[in-house]
Amino acid sequence: MTEKSYYKNPYLSQWTAAIQAIIPKNDKYLLVLDTTYFYPEGGGQPSDRGTIDGIEVLDVFEKDDMIFHVVPKVPDNKKVDCKIDFNRRFEHMQQHTGEHILAATFYRLYKGVSNAFHMGEDYVSIDISLSEVTPDMVKEVEDAVNEVIYRNLPVKTYMKDLEGAKLLPLRKQPKVDEDIRIVEIEDVDFCPCCGTHVASTGEVGILKILKMEKSKGMTRIYFQCGRKALQDYSKKHEIITSLYEKFSANDNTLLEKIEKYMEDVKKTEGLVKNLRQELSLCEAQKLVKDAKKLVVYGSYKNKTLNDIMFIAKQVFQMGEYIFIGLSLEEKKLFLSHNTDLLLHCGNLLKDVMKNFNARGGGSALQAQASFGSEEELKKCAEKLNQVCQALDD
């Protein structure tokens, strides 16, 4: 059994250990040390990273009371120097302690129970057993959490047996019945937990709730603490500063100017849509005029497949036709008809395009395909046009 020294001192990041076992697995190796400060993944918290004799530790996990350190090669020495990436460790300590305060505050104010905790590389979240969490609730909770942080309360950890744990006002019941590790935040929270934590709430720095979403009848709360919260703020500050410059705005006028800009964009999009439809009608009239019998054919560099489908709709309002349209921009082909001919567009297109680098299909009345190159699109369209002209004869 490996001594779990990370419980004794989560702030220690360098030590010497003896290798007790080396287990090859796939193209990696699992090292078992006599003592470790590397925290294995568990309780919603990711594992630590670092080095063993300068060799990168790729992962750390626990199984059957053994801590396994995953490395790409075996160290030369039996006694090894171990080093933890402490910036990563401390961020995990901040996030995990912040999660305890946040969950305890939701429970104290609204009786919301934390049913899940996730700490990933990109986000941290908890699932609260409340079907609805309003912005006012979020503000109240966030203010209360940060008040606990500012009070710089001690964060204590200790072991209890099951009977001893039952005497504590636990927020959550333990999942084991012996060697129960308790994390206590004075006057705020008692919770069984196997993670690493800061020594006092002040070290959490700050907690900011980022967003909420519904999840299986509960509410998922996304948040950041400490250094991660600062990084998030810095990134968003850069975005806001850029928007200030682009809109010649400040705190008081930015939203108003963005709303005005969006209104103008919406009006412009409507105007463009109407103009495109008018152009499509003119194009449809031209195609029908130039058509050879029932086959209408159009090829375009600057039109999307949706534009071409609208042109086809206009063509069909002028009579019965077979329509072939090419979007050179998107390298797509559209085939459709509204005639009494025994023509299945999907089957015909599939048969013609089988000799080209294309994929697609469709129904009896319309079909479409995407091509690997403009050249193949044109060649397939030419062949398809010949087939359809033959049907028209």
Residue 377: what are its φ and ψ, rounded to 5°? -60, -50
CATH of the domain at 347: 3.10.310.30
> Other C-beta atoms within 10 Å of 119: how many?
20
Type of residue numbered 166: K
Domain range for 356 is: 273-392
Contact present, 29 and 52 (Cβ < 8 Å): no
In a domain, 304, yes or no: yes
- Report which of 190, 230, 192 is spatially closest to residue 208, judged by C-alpha positions: 230
One domain for residues 71 and 158: no
Cβ contacts of 197 within 8 Å, gap of 6 or more = 10, 93, 96, 97, 100, 155, 157, 183
Spatial distance between the Cα atoms of 123 and 99, rounded to a whole number of angstroms: 12
Q: Pick from 84, 118, 150: which residue ends a domain?
A: 84
Type of residue numbered 208: K
Tokens 């919301």 identify what position? 112
What tokens appear for 6 in the block?
A: 């990370």
Q: What is the pLDDT of residue 393?
A: 64
Type of residue numbered 320: E
Spatial distance between the Cα atoms of 45 and 42, rounded to a whole number of angstroms: 5
One domain for residues 150 and 216: yes
CATH of the domain at 198: 3.30.980.10
One domain for residues 317 and 199: no
Spatial distance between the Cα atoms of 256 and 377, rounded to a whole number of angstroms: 47
CATH of the domain at 48: 2.40.30.130
In a domain, 37, yes or no: yes
Residue-level length of the chain: 393
> Other C-beta atoms within 10 Å of 259: how many?
10
Edge-to-edge strand ranges of the sheet holding 189-192 = 155-160, 180-185, 189-192
In a domain, 240, yes or no: no
In a domain, 243, yes or no: no
In a domain, 242, yes or no: no
Q: What is the pLDDT of residue 43?
A: 81
Spatial distance between the Cα atoms of 95 and 124, rounded to a whole number of angstroms: 8
Q: Is residue 209 helix, strand or coil?
A: strand
Pairing of strands 207-215, 218-225: antiparallel
Q: What is the pLDDT of residue 392?
A: 66
Cβ contacts of 259 within 8 Å, gap of 6 or more = none
What tokens appear for 154 in the block?
A: 């001690």
Spatial distance between the Cα atoms of 22 and 35, rounded to a whole number of angstroms: 15
Q: What is the pLDDT along the chain (393 residues), one digit of tens a residue?
A: 788 999 999 999 999 999 999 999 999 999 999 999 999 998 889 999 999 999 999 999 999 889 999 999 999 999 999 999 999 999 999 999 999 999 999 999 999 999 999 998 878 999 999 999 999 999 999 999 999 999 999 999 999 988 888 889 899 888 777 789 999 998 999 999 989 999 999 999 999 999 999 999 999 999 999 999 999 999 999 999 999 999 999 999 999 999 999 999 999 999 998 888 888 889 999 999 988 788 999 999 988 999 999 999 999 999 999 999 999 999 999 999 999 988 999 999 999 998 888 999 999 999 999 999 999 999 999 999 999 888 866
Spatial distance between the Cα atoms of 311 and 308, rounded to a whole number of angstroms: 5
Contact present, 190 and 170 (Cβ < 8 Å): yes
In a domain, 264, yes or no: no
Q: Pick from 84, 106, 139: which residue ends a domain?
A: 84
Q: Whole-model pTM? A: 0.75
Number of domains forming the structure of the chain? 3
Residue 48 per-residue DSSP state: P
In a domain, 286, yes or no: yes
In a domain, 30, yes or no: yes
Residue 174: what are its φ and ψ, rounded to 5°? -70, 150
Q: What is the pLDDT of residue 376?
A: 93
Spatial distance between the Cα atoms of 146 and 202, rounded to a whole number of angstroms: 9
One domain for residues 127 and 175: yes
Long-range CB contacts (< 8 A, 24+ apart) of 7-14?
7/157, 7/181, 9/37, 10/37, 10/39, 10/89, 10/93, 10/196, 10/197, 11/199, 12/37, 13/37, 13/50, 13/83, 13/84, 13/86, 13/89, 14/81, 14/82, 14/83, 14/84
One domain for residues 201 and 100: yes
One domain for residues 104 and 207: yes
One domain for residues 286 and 191: no
- Taking CA atoms, 166 is separated from 37, 135, 154, 274, in Å, by 29, 35, 22, 71
